[in-house]
Amino acid sequence: MDVRIYIPLLACLLGPVMGLPLQVFFRKPEESGVKEITEHKDIYSRILQSNKDSKKLLHEGDIVIIPGRSAKKCDDCRWDKSSNGNVIVPYIMSSGYNDAEVSLITASMQEFETVTCVRFVPHTTEKNAINITIAHGCWSAIGRKGGIQDVSLGGGCMYKGSIQHEINHALGFIHEHSRSDRDDYVTIMEQYISPGDLKNFKSYDSNNLGLEYDYESVMHYPRDAFTNTSGKYTIVPKPDPSVQIGQGYGLSSLDISKINKLYQCDICSSLLHHPNGTVISANYPSAYPNNANCVWLIRTPSKQVSLKFNAFDVQSSPKCVSDYIKIYDGASKTSPVLLDRTCGSGQIPQLISSTNLMLIEFVSDGAVTATGFKATYNTERCGGTFYTPSRNFTSPGYPLTYYDNLDCFFNITAPAGYKIVLNISDFFLENAANCRFDYLSIFDGDNPASPLLFHSCGNVAVPIQVSTGNSMLLYLHTDNSNHERGFKASYTINSYKKIRDL
């Protein structure tokens, strides 16, 4: 039976991938293996829950009191800068963390490094360092206190937002609701706060760095923090009480700006943390500046990032050595590459990351410029677009069961003159007559109107698939019941000659 009777509209939705008058320099990526973890409960509620039975003397729920120093004054507690302008924070990691926890903590620190000049380095002989340890709860001192200082990230703290909250304390930042001008932005509802908890809502003579109040800060209390009456809020934004405060995902764009301003970081960076938005080069649609080196970190609250370019015009050069854009499948320049150095002008196909993180890098030299680029991003539940010479990928949730009601597209594109060799090493989908519930279809081209190479379900061995051209599309469909583990796949991009020699 022809699978196209199930998906007659997909060709219209997907559309053909056009040939590109672009120059793309390919390289093989390294697989990071770090799975992104996102949160839905707000950060501070998790922290308070984790610290509920802590015996540690804590201020505002998670701030360690330093004897002889104000809990809020941090004029002399910044971390030192190196000769190259980076802020160096040596760290010690407890041996009690498992591999997944180490990966999450490392990934949380990596986001600081991508968009600020802060660099976390393993401690050797440095006098000052943070000791990331498994004490009871989540807590930290404000700023560098001197010597080896603990940052507690216990079992209830293993969420990116909680980790970044405590690290941001260690960098010198207080809770957002405690800043000196907070009464201009929020009302503290003391009638719903027990007398013993009122100390957690004091404001302080703080250095606000000339930046506006941030309701979305990783350092902001939720609206019901320390409430003594169910359903009543202790913090109400003004003038609009409906403004969202407190979140569960991590650093905000203003958090990044504050770090860069406090430490005088000379870095061009942006954090885009909403479900959708726009990315444009400087001065667009006028010419971008010479000697630019900028990054945009897209971190959606959940799902995967989908990026579509509306316009692209970057100075052309051999192998894009002068000006270029480069896109990574993750939060750092060590993440797998989605699109390697690209320059010229024309249309770039839609890009889909494998997690809720995507990093865009743009570099220009000191000579010719062009109008640059404009792109929009939103979220997708699953799928991917792959342009690198090789890659491993899986169905969502693998090796556990896949999810309900998926329609996932995995589009692989090779340079002109190359073919794709696909190997599915593990395959198990719900079995049914005519695969009418769950199935995987593989097309010899970039859309579902292309010739069908494979269509199946159940637990079967999948033959190696080879494209006749430079593109291949995988389409995974699932219904709302009886799920299995899905599939594990890898591909390589080979020349026509190498394919003949296989």
- Point out the residues that are catalytic: 166
| Alpha-carbon span 431 to 437, nearest angstrom | 8
| Alpha-carbon span 474 to 31, nearest angstrom | 21
> Do strands 268-272 and 293-299 pair parallel, antiparallel, or not at all (unpaired)?
parallel
| Alpha-carbon span 121 to 114, nearest angstrom | 14
For residue 496, which amino acid is it? Y
Contact 493, 414 (CB under 8 A): yes
| Alpha-carbon span 23 to 290, nearest angstrom | 20
| Alpha-carbon span 328 to 355, nearest angstrom | 11
Cross-strand partners of 426: 488
What are the structure tokens assigned to 460, written together?
């079967």
Closest CA to 429 of 474, 381, 492: 474
φ/ψ region of 181 (left if φ > 0, alpha if ψ in -120 to 50, else beta) reads alpha
For residue 166, which amino acid is it? E
Handedness of CA 347, 490, 382, 341 (dihedral sign): negative
What are the φ and ψ backbone dihedral angles of 386, each rounded to 5 degrees? -125, 130
